[in-house]
Amino acid sequence: MISIYNLKPKFQQLLRPALDAMHKASITANQITMASIALSFVIGGFFWFADVNSLYFLVLPIGLLVRMALNALDGMMARVYHQQSQKGELLNEVGDIVSDVAIFFPLLKFENGAVYLIALFICLSILNEFAGVMAKVIKSERRYDGPMGKSDRAFLLSIYGILSFLWIGFSAYSIYLFYIAIPLLLLSTYTRLTKSLS
């Protein structure tokens, strides 16, 4: 399935100088993961108050790009410099879910006319990550299949932030993004589960 996740190898190549610099500075994979989680709460905080200052909407595309880089770097650090551990894996998987909830939660404020739909989007996002982890339990292979995997959801919310900042009337149409995202999330979750059983 088409997913922004497929661009990850090229993205990792771009991050290699930053990886080497972090290693020289004695920064560990787990520290990068923790920084990513902390950043997610900062993004969610700015997003929550974007109705006070519309510039805060731009924290979504900028912050989510940085978070994506950190998510790539912690895995690279663990693999390249032999820092893989059960603690790191647990921190990474739980951290991703906690981070997503922190970032998505303000949607309940901005899409208050469709609270149940946003709640469904958040729950399905959690289920999608759970399906990827279950594949590793069953087949020892973590699944990242899209569409609407973690990277795709970050892209979706980045678009949401940019359009909210640039287009005053976007709020009248923004909910349609989630009408599109929810079926794609269901498809992604189904794909991950079926491939883990194949």
Rounded Cα–Cα distance for residues 159 and 58 (Å): 10
Residue 98 has pLDDT above 90, yes or no: yes
Predicted pLDDT of residue 198: 81
Predicted pLDDT of residue 11: 86
Confidence of residue 1 (pLDDT cuts 50, 70, 90): low
Residue 118: name the closest of 156, 155, 151, 147 by CA: 156
Residue 140 has pLDDT above 90, yes or no: no
The domain that contains 64 carries what CATH number?
1.20.120.1760
Cβ partners under 8 Å of residue 169, min gap 6: none
Confidence of residue 2 (pLDDT cuts 50, 70, 90): low
**Count of domains observed in the chain:** 1
Confidence of residue 154 (pLDDT cuts 50, 70, 90): very high
Domain that holds residue 12: 4-197
Predicted pLDDT of residue 37: 97
Confidence of residue 34 (pLDDT cuts 50, 70, 90): very high
Residue 67: name the closest of 146, 153, 125 by CA: 153
CA 198 to chain centre: 26
Instruction: Tell me the whole-structure pTM to 2 decimals.
Output: 0.92
Q: How many residues does the chain have?
A: 198
